[in-house]
Amino acid sequence: MTRNSRRLVSVLAAATIATSMAACGGDDDSDGGGGGGGGGGTAEDNEATGPGMTEDTVTIGSHYPLTGRAAPGYSEIPTGVQAYFDYVNANGGVYDRQIEWVYRDDGYNPTNTSTVVRELVLEEEVFAIMGGLGTPTHNAVLDFLNTEEVPDLFVSSGSSLWDDPENLPYTFGWQTDYESEGKIIGQYIAEEFPDAKVGLFLQDDDFGEDGERGVRQYLDDDQIVEVQTYTSGNIDVGPQIAALQASGADFVLGFNTPPYTALTQLAARDLNYTPQWWYSNVGSAPDLVGSLLGAFSQGAVSGASALAGIYTTSYIPTVDQVDDPWIQLFQRIWDESGQEGVLTNTRVYGMSMAYTMVQALQAAGRNPTGDDLVAAVEEAGADWQGPAFTPFRYSSDRHAGISGMSVVQFNAEGVGEPKTPLLVTDTGDAEIEEYDGEPIAPPESGIPDEEAVG
Amino acid sequence: MEQFISLTLGGVVNGSVYAAFALALVLIWRSTRIVNFAQGSMAAATTFIAVAVIDAGGSYWLALVVALLSGLVMGALIERVVIRPVEGGPELNAVIVTLGLFVAIQGIVALVAGVDERAFVPPFSTVGYEVREGFTLLSLSRNSIWTVGAVLVTMLALIALFRFTRLGLAMRASAFGQEVARLLGVRVGRMLTLGWALAAAVGALAGMLIAGDVSFIGPTFMDTLIVFGFVAAVLGGLDSPIGAVVGGLLLGLALNYVRGYLDDSLLGMAALVILVVVLLVRPGGLFSTTAARRA
């Protein structure tokens, strides 16, 4: 039987790959349009500089869970990226190069991540990896990418692992790190709910640990009455929620992925357990959670209002902010892209990151190597403005992304209402401060215009 | 004490779900001596057929009947078309074919139904009974009683089939010695087809119960349960419906205690440790019969 189970494991892996091929059949349709448009001066000619950077194309690769337990919501991110890159390509690309976007399904399984990222680097010969999703998954390819000297930009995870320029010179974070988020959440609860008995519900890896470390900087140990963890993939969270209920916690803070937001809400309903809920940014996908939970309430709760009253945090605009100029831009780009489905927060996330990627490619100059791209992010990244509410922390000795966020509470219509101004902080014992800058509107063209560095 | 009661009841519910899956494996093993690795994706396929019925406005019970019937048809078709050519050859061939089926069926489900997760609403309420103020037994709900009950009834029906009917006897005979059975006038080919059809129907039931238990399903929703179902079946000796159910319950209890008293992340390892220990002590499984009866 042990032989059989080993066989079984490889079959499961094969199955995931097979289904993913079915799932993302259309991911590499380049628009084919000529790149003659407004690419600026032509003092130099385009040259191929190495893998993934030809005269007229630049290939960017990534890994996402497109199938399996972690896929809901996340599988939409690359379609958002695709929409934005298509838009840039239709407007001439970057330095007259079309951006080719190739992504693979890893099913949120680190073993698969290793396989597909090796494929992307060695067979597809990508110029850079962008937005590889997940802490345990991306962790499995850090050494490989840094040994191969492939730029590993903007990992889709707020773990602090990505901010280690000395050992991982090619890897950069993008979103606000979980520890900073935990600090901002912890301070808010300490100030606004000093009497709450807080229970933590954590994914049992760096995601949960980083978040908890941040929260504990501001919440006293005796205010945190219970800590429960879950392993991604185990879908029965009933025992954990029952333990939180038994502990008397009346305020539950979750550092979990979106499907677990739905699962914990269901389990709590079955237990008649009604604490105040707070899900960190990752877990608060109202459209997804609403669609999953809606079926269980026989119409009593519809769509996004399933999360009414729940707190979360926010560092880029969300689709409920219909007046936000970034959301209006992304809505237009999404509609033009002609892909199936509506604009969701996960797609906005993908488009926002793609915007940063275009900034990086512009800053890297006309004929960059991978090292030039890395240098450009280090040199210019801290000054880039875009959809993110607060600046990046990039420099030659920091590879950390967005520096802050604000606290948000969903109202009955599922719209997030800000409860704090924009707050910026950092890992460790950095203070939490109010951000004094203003969010900026997108450029008229919808495409950034960064100067080449160096 | 409250935690112990919670974990025990939860273990019984989870265990009966593993048992349902193990029953389907045992059926095929009993009737054709093949370990059917495709069981999981076959059950996923019939569950998605049921989902289509529900989406079209049908009730859960209509969907359940459709799932069971489509399981019967699918099992019979697969045996006739895919398994028959490799039957009687080396055992490994048949096993490899079922592995291929596993991947192929899962791919087809993903193509037809899409890869997005979707909600699956069980037929009964999953709200736990409140034992006393502030202590709700999550695992004791009307739906969990239905789940456990459905598995027990299925087990009893299968035992009755194999023990008390001529049909069951003929099926057993066909599995143990095809030539002898044929000489005695048993239509062996039909028995094998029937065995697969029945197994797939039981698998379809397992799929429906599991879908109700996990709340959200995608084409791969059976994957995590396949391993536990196999362990349960092997624990029970692969040959006995009672063994499958007892194996499932033991596994469910053990895993729930591991989860409750140790750690969530140890589940997979705990299942394999249990398997190794049982196989070391009783290589034929807990409910193995005498070696002479093993084909």
Which helix (H) or strand (E) segment holds residue A433: the answer is: strand A433-434
Q: Which residue has the higher pLDDT, A396 or A306?
A: A396
CB contact under 8 A, A239 and B126: no
Assigned token pair, A98 = 């079309």
Q: Which residue has the higher pLDDT, A204 or A299?
A: A204
Return residues 352-411 of A near B (CB < 8 Å).
none
Return residues 290-349 of A near B (CB < 8 Å).
291-296
Per residue in A18-32, pLDDT tens? 444 444 433 443 333
Per CB-CB distance under 8 Å, the chain A contacts of B3 are 243, 246
CB contact under 8 A, B267 and A231: yes
CB contact under 8 A, B230 and A1: yes
A183 to A80, A134, A315, B173: CA distances (angstroms): 30, 21, 14, 68
Instruction: Name the residue in chain B with its Cα closest to that of A18.
Output: B107
Mean pLDDT of A332-354: 91
| SS3 state at A247 | coil
Return residues 213-252 of A near B (CB < 8 Å).
229-231, 233-236, 238-243, 245-246
Q: Which of B115, B134, B215 sits opposite A23 (nearest CB)?
A: B115
CB atoms within 10 A of CB A156: 26
Predicted local confidence at residue A31, as pLDDT: 38
Return residues 240-259 of B near A (CB < 8 Å).
256, 259
Per CB-CB distance under 8 Å, the chain A contacts of B224 are 69, 233-235
Instruction: Name the residue in chain A with its Cα closest to that of B229.
Output: A5
Mean pLDDT of chain A: 85
Look at residue B131 and tell me if it is in a domain. no
Q: Is the pLDDT of residue A330 over 90?
A: yes
Burial of B92 (0-12, 13-18, 19+ CB in 10 A): exposed
Predicted local confidence at residue B223, as pLDDT: 82
Q: How far is CA A229 from the centre of its chain?
A: 21
Residues counted in chain A? 454
Q: What are phi and psi of B208, to 5 degrees?
A: -65, -45
B122: left (phi over 0), alpha (psi -120 to 50) or beta: beta
Mean pLDDT of A56-62: 94
Mean pLDDT of A215-239: 87
Look at residue B129 and tell me if it is in a domain. no
CB contact under 8 A, A11 and B103: yes
CB contact under 8 A, A266 and B41: no
Assigned token pair, A450 = 């960064």
CB atoms within 10 A of CB A60: 24
The C-alpha angle A346, A174, A303, rounded to 5 degrees, equals 20
Name the band, by pLDDT with cuts 50, 70 and 90, for residue A320.
confident
**Count of structural domains within chain B:** 1
Look at residue B126 and tell me if it is in a domain. no
Determine the distance in angstroms separating the CA of B80 from the nearest CA of chain A, rounded to an integer. 24
Outline where DSSP puts E strands in A301-357. 311-314
Q: Which of A19, A68, A71 sits opposite B107 (nearest CB)?
A: A19
Given a contact cutoff of 8 angstroms between Cβ atoms, the answer to whether A419 and A187 are in contact is: no
CB of A8 less than 8 A from some CB of B = yes
Predicted local confidence at residue A104, as pLDDT: 94
Look at residue B127 and tell me if it is in a domain. no
In angstroms, how far is the first alpha carbon of chain B from the final one? 46
Instruction: Name the residue in chain A with its Cα closest to that of B7.
Output: A239
Q: How far is CA A345 from the centre of its chain?
A: 10
Alpha-carbon distance of A94 to A77, in angstroms, equals 21
Amino acid identity at A182: G
Name the band, by pLDDT with cuts 50, 70 and 90, for residue A40.
very low
Which helix (H) or strand (E) segment holds residue B130: the answer is: strand B129-132
Predicted local confidence at residue A189, as pLDDT: 93
3-state helix, strand, coil in chain A (%, to 5): 40, 15, 45
Alpha-carbon distance of B142 to A27, in angstroms, equals 45
CB contact under 8 A, A271 and B128: yes
Q: Which residue has the tokens 């915007």?
A: A355
Alpha-carbon distance of A68 to A75, in angstroms, equals 10
Predicted local confidence at residue A270, as pLDDT: 84
Q: Which of B115, B263, B279 sits opposite A66 (nearest CB)?
A: B115
Name the band, by pLDDT with cuts 50, 70 and 90, for residue A384.
very high
* CA nearest neighbour of B14 among B192, B198, B254: B254
| DSSP bridge partners of A101 | A60
Q: Which of B95, B103, B141 sits opposite A15 (nearest CB)?
A: B103
Mutate to test the interface with A, among B101, B112, B116 (most CBs of A within 10 A): B116
Per CB-CB distance under 8 Å, the chain B contacts of A236 are 10, 14, 214
Predicted local confidence at residue B227, as pLDDT: 84
A303 to A319, B17, B212: CA distances (angstroms): 14, 30, 21
Which helix (H) or strand (E) segment holds residue A404: the answer is: strand A404-410
Q: Which residue has the higher pLDDT, A176 or A4?
A: A176
Instruction: Name the residue in chain A with its Cα closest to that of B8.
Output: A239
Predicted local confidence at residue A39, as pLDDT: 42
Q: What are phi and psi of B244, to 5 degrees?
A: -60, -45
Per CB-CB distance under 8 Å, the chain B contacts of A238 are 10, 138-139
Predicted local confidence at residue A141, as pLDDT: 94
Determine the distance in angstroms separating the CA of A8 from the nearest CA of chain B, rounded to an integer. 8
Sequence-ordered list of residues with C-beta below 8 angstroms from that of B133, at least 6 positions apart, any chain: none
- Provide the residue range defining the domain that includes B190: 2-120+137-293
Amino acid identity at A222: D
Instruction: Name the residue in chain A with its Cα closest to that of B259.
Output: A239
* ipTM value greater than 0.90: no
Predicted local confidence at residue A103, as pLDDT: 95
Per residue in A67-97, pLDDT tens? 877 787 888 999 999 999 999 999 999 999 9
CB of B131 less than 8 A from some CB of A = no
Mean pLDDT of A112-130: 93
Look at residue B130 and tell me if it is in a domain. no
Average pLDDT by consecutive 10-residue portion of chain B (295 residues)? 81 88 87 84 94 90 95 93 84 88 90 82 81 71 89 89 87 81 84 90 91 84 84 85 89 88 82 87 71 45
Which CATH number do you get for residue B6?
Answer: 1.10.3470
Amino acid identity at A449: D
The model's pTM is 0.81
Look at residue B104 and tell me if it is in a domain. yes
Per CB-CB distance under 8 Å, the chain B contacts of A18 are 103, 106-107
Alpha-carbon distance of B98 to B32, in angstroms, equals 13
A64 to A61, A103, A117, A354, A379: CA distances (angstroms): 10, 7, 11, 15, 28
Alpha-carbon distance of A269 to A252, in angstroms, equals 14
Predicted local confidence at residue A171, as pLDDT: 95
Assigned token pair, B253 = 């209890």
Q: Where are the alpha helices (DSSP H) in B177-266?
A: 178-183, 188-214, 223-235, 241-257
Q: Is the pLDDT of residue A34 over 80?
A: no
Predicted local confidence at residue B46, as pLDDT: 95
Look at residue B132 and tell me if it is in a domain. no
Burial of B238 (0-12, 13-18, 19+ CB in 10 A): buried
- Helix B60-78 and helix B188-214: axis angle, to 10°? 140
Look at residue B161 and tell me if it is in a domain. yes
Q: Which of A12, A19, A292 sits opposite B216 (nearest CB)?
A: A292
Outline where DSSP puts E strands in A131-240. 152-155, 171-173, 198-203, 224-230
Alpha-carbon distance of B199 to B75, in angstroms, equals 7
Rounded (10°) CA dihedral B224, B225, B228, B234? -130
CB contact under 8 A, A4 and B260: no
Domains, chain A: 16-24+45-176+321-389 (3.40.50.2300), 178-314 (3.40.50.2300)
Q: Which of A75, A236, A263 sits opposite B115 (nearest CB)?
A: A75
Determine the distance in angstroms separating the CA of A68 from the nearest CA of chain B, rounded to an integer. 6
Look at the alpha carbons of B239, B240, B241, B245 in this order and tell me if their dihedral is positive or negative: negative
Predicted local confidence at residue A35, as pLDDT: 36
Amino acid identity at A100: E
Per CB-CB distance under 8 Å, the chain A contacts of B110 are 19, 22-23, 67
CB contact under 8 A, A75 and B116: yes
Q: Which residue has the tokens 């010179």?
A: A169
Burial of A341 (0-12, 13-18, 19+ CB in 10 A): exposed
Q: Which of B128, B219, B230 sits opposite A19 (nearest CB)?
A: B219
Q: Which of B118, B139, B267 sits opposite A234 (nearest CB)?
A: B267
